[in-house]
Chain A
Amino acid sequence: MYKIVKKRVLNPTVVLMDIVAPAIAKKAEPGQFIILRVDEEGERIPLTIADFNRENGTVTIIFQIVGKTTQALSELEEGQFICDFVGPLGVASHVEGLKKVAVIGGGVGSAIAYPVAKKLHNLGAKVDVIVGFRNKDLLILEEEFKAASDRLFIMTDDGSYGEKGLVTAALEKLIKEGNEYDEVIAIGPLVMMKFVAQLTKQYGIKTVVSMNPIMIDGTGMCGGCRLTVGGKVKFACVDGPDFDGHEVDFDEAISRSSMYKDFEKHALEHHCNLMEVK
């Protein structure tokens, strides 16, 4: 059992938790993820490691409430436990040697972009961060990003905070202004990563994306998370989750991610109905 020692509601649908898992905290690196199971009947879901504290032995996760499992997780409080917590899984992000980087986060994906930006910043790289949200209420980690970047650009779809528009608009503007990036790192919804990759391809800027397919075990034994990268089949859980954004077949990944949409909707509704009865 793994204890929740901190819970912070970042916005109406995004929650941060610190989980006691010393062995994982000792080894974790930005870009890696964990698999958790809330309770005995629960499914296994992957969540990227948003931060870690080696001294305190804690691992930070930030998740959006999108279905039954994340809803159930969000209902747990400090001092309560989750049943299973496995990691660190996947390959750590390669950030060594980078001098100037644009880190792009979309929605809750920003939580995953944060540790990468922080590590690059600590290594002395120049880091421009662009984060995008639907509106001001959904903005997360503003202070953290300020501390981990040279420049922070906040975009909202409706213009309720920062600049109005998509992250790609901000990125294109920076590129056109003459900023030369060694690499662009994009983490967020598949559609956002697809368009960032399309944009940077035109300018020939290396782009790394963090893929988030459906997973079960997270250790390479089922292939549920497979993707096509550069024409080859890769397992995101062991070969990734980071891949060259110009090589990923995004349309296939978007299609595969919808495999259990009906089931998930049903499970969430069922769960919510149960709560109303209470």
Chain B
Amino acid sequence: MANMSPKKLEMPVQDPTVRNGNFEEVALGYTLEMAQEEASRCLNCKNSPCVSGCPVNVNIPGFITEIQKGDFEKAYEVIHESSSLPAVCGRVCPQETQCEAKCVRGIKTESVGIGRLERFVADYHMTNSKEEVKVPEANGHKVAIVGAGPAGLTCAGDLAKKGYKVTVFEALHLAGGVLVYGIPEFRLPKAIVQKEIDTLKAMGVEVLTNMVIGKVISIDELFEDGFEAIFVGSGAGLPNFMNIPGENLKGVYSANEFLTRVNLMKAYKEGSDTPIHNSKSVAVFGGGNVAMDAARCAKRLGAENVYIVYRRGEEEMPARREEVEHAKEEGIIFKNLTNPVQILGEAGWVTGVECVEMELGEPDESGRRSPIVKEGSNFVLDIDCAIMAIGTSPNPLIISTTKGLETNRRGCIITEEETGLTTREGVYAGGDAVTGAATVILAMGAGKKAAAAMDEYIQSK
């Protein structure tokens, strides 16, 4: 008989007043007993709608059944058939809009905590497994992956499993993409990302860092070097600015720069050579996950006042509910329906931001209520640091150096939806480079689809 508890079993977390002073992981994860208790809430339904909600179609009832039985290694094997980065997905996927949104238990009560269970299984495997990673039998074909973010790593993992010799080219000095430079340590410990990458390497995937494709080697040269198909997963790393006065004052950061300094370069650690501006009052412009991450990092760096300045209401925020809640618990101040007009400064440094209040108008064609300025509502917020988290666009570096690769007017690479094939034979693309800034799991789904299509393309040649 299934456990009919209407609620998901709570996962232990660090106390908000403690955690906002450190960079350690907020969510502590289930214990073995907790995982089995939560797993017993799964009804193991025949048509398993949860699987269709997962962009990489993990056999969810399959792995949960193994947790119920107590065979955690088997549970890991089931997940690993479909997902190359389970410890990452279990932590950062917005399950509430994906697998868990489709869970039958969720119709009347709370859905099964699928993400928490996936995370438990992946962590259990990392801590306890002594088994060597199986190296698949080589099939004699070579493929190249551009970008070691979630899309590229997933594509690499799937192709390596099929026996391809996979080489991943990464521009930064560490593989992981947004998983290492964007998402902070307190949401996704970097040691976990590294272990997932080590698993890929053990399967035979070669990861070459410090390789800026488009500069040091072009896509055409990769083909000349014998790569038979190429996957471009170069992301959307070009930061947008607001084009308001004062944006180039000292103390104004793009969220990408701020987060790269903090996460990749570890500027928060004593002993890191990379500096970061120590601020008292920080305004973060934007309402997505990146804005939440930047605000929570700023708090942990010691800022007394951290504001989220967002032009729409809380309902409209694109950030995950959980991240908004966590940010509030940690003392982040929300200034919703507020928009910056200009950044004020003195002697080259930020001293404040002039904002206006907004109200929401009628829904537009896309169904979103667009914000309208309340005339005469201008006010000044005293700050000494501003962070722009208003979105990113694809980096033009690869497109501008590759002939025959077409993009849309937003600079996104055009692909066939089902295969990820670009306008050039043998070149596939996926993730944010195609969609513009989206989620980790969508990038992984795209990497997976492209891997299948690349396999078919090479095998049928």
Name A residues whose Cβ lies closer than 8 Å to a Cβ of B: 23-24, 27, 37, 41-44, 68-69, 83-89, 216-217, 219-224, 226-228, 233, 238, 252, 255-256, 258-260, 263-264, 267
Contacts and interface: CB of A to CB of B under 8 A. Distances in A.
B273 A89 contact: no
B410 to A, nearest CB: 16
Contacts of B248: 226-228, 233, 252, 256
Contacts of B257: 216, 222-224
Contacts of B260: 216-217, 221-222
Contacts of A89: 212, 215
A27 B401 CA distance: 13
Given A42-B273, A220-B238, A88 B215 contact: yes
A187 B293 CA distance: 39
Interface residues of B, number: 36
User: Which secondary structure dominates chain B's binding surface?
Assistant: loop
Nearest to B345: A255
Contacts of A84: 173, 209-210
Interface string B252-265: 01101100110001
Contacts of A217: 171-172, 260
Contacts, number: 102
Contacts of B273: 41-43, 68-69, 267
Interface string B389-422: 0000001110000000000000000000000000
Given A24-B216, A43-B265, A220-B237, A238 B256 contact: no
14 contacts: A44-B173, A44-B274, A68-B273, A216-B265, A217-B172, A219-B172, A219-B395, A220-B396, A222-B256, A222-B257, A223-B257, A224-B253, A224-B254, A259-B250
A219 B256 CA distance: 12
A40 to B, nearest CB: 9
B265 A44 contact: yes
A83 B248 CA distance: 32
Contacts of B395: 219-221
Contacts of A267: 273, 275
A86 B265 contact: no
B185 interface: no
B113 to A, nearest CB: 34
A76 B42 CA distance: 60
B277 interface: yes
Contacts of A233: 241, 243, 247-248
B4 interface: no
A216 B251 CA distance: 15
B129 interface: no
A216 B261 contact: yes
Contacts of A259: 250-251, 277
A24 B217 CA distance: 9
Contacts of B397: 219-220, 238
Contact of B212 (A41, A43, A219, A264): A219
B239 interface: yes
A223 B216 CA distance: 21
Given A42-B273, A255-B250, A221 B209 contact: no
Interface string B211-240: 110011100000000000000000001110
B215 A87 contact: yes
A217 B395 CA distance: 13
B348 interface: yes
Contacts of B217: 23
B175 to A, nearest CB: 13
B272 interface: yes
A228 B248 CA distance: 8
Contacts of B216: 23-24, 27, 87-88
Nearest to B274: A43
B207 to A, nearest CB: 14
A27 B216 CA distance: 6
Contacts of A85: 210
A265 B215 CA distance: 34
A227 B173 CA distance: 25
B246 to A, nearest CB: 11
Contact of B256 (A27, A88, A223, A228): A223
